[in-house]
Copies of this chain bind each other. A is one copy, B any other.
Amino acid sequence: MMRHFDKTSIMEAESFFRRDFINCLSGYKSLNLIGTKSKSGQTNLSPFSQVFHIGATPPTVGILFRPHTVQRHTLENILETGVFTLNHVTQDFFKEAHQTAARYESSEFDAVGIEEEYLLEFYAPFVKPSPVKLGCRLIEHITLQVNDTVLVIGEIEHVWVDEKGLRKDGSLDLNALGTVTVSGLDEYHIGQKLARLSYPKPGKHLEEI
């Protein structure tokens, strides 16, 4: 049985219901820990489910920052220093990753017990146990009129990836890497592959590749 909600019934629902409901509607989301460091040297680590591909040439990612949330520390550090890291989360530390969203005064790395790591000369901290780590540099940020959400666009300067999950064609085997996905605000899942499908053309039968 399908349940119907229109805009009026959504707006009249309890705020906790609306928040959970709307957050779940897009489906499974990517999960990354963003590592930053303020100019004064304070590190910060925060979970984000709003990281997405913008383009491959040059390699760019986008992140949406909600207004008035604890995540603003991360945004301030990015605007101040111009750099940040993105780190996949695995089954081994997804609870610690969730806990980094708490409002700590000190560094979340220390507070939750996730080890930080510095690679080459990159200023922002990486997450040591992460199987996919990106070093990114801010190139543009845009404030959306609709609700003051900020879209940050970063160029990917460095990638470290565990070779057990890197295929010859450049794609990543996220199942092998143990990457975790999130739904809504607080529910974590691993992926279970159904199939990889050939390039779709009219009149051509799809094959599993």
Give, as a whole number of angstroms, the nearest-CB distance from A60 to chain B.
6
Q: Is the CB of B53 within 8 A of A23?
A: yes
Q: How many copies does the complex hold?
A: 2
| Nearest opposing residue in chain B for A172, CB measure | B24
Q: Is the CB of A25 within 8 A of B172?
A: yes
A16: chain B residues within 8 A (beta carbon): 169-170
Instruction: Decide: A29 near B7, CB < 8 A? Known: A24-B172, A194-B94, A200-B101.
Output: no
A104 CA to B140 CA, complexed, in Å: 36
Contact indicator per residue, chain A 88-107, by CB within 8 Å of chain B (1) or not (0):
10010011001111111000
A57: chain B residues within 8 A (beta carbon): 11, 15, 18
A195: chain B residues within 8 A (beta carbon): 94-95, 187-188
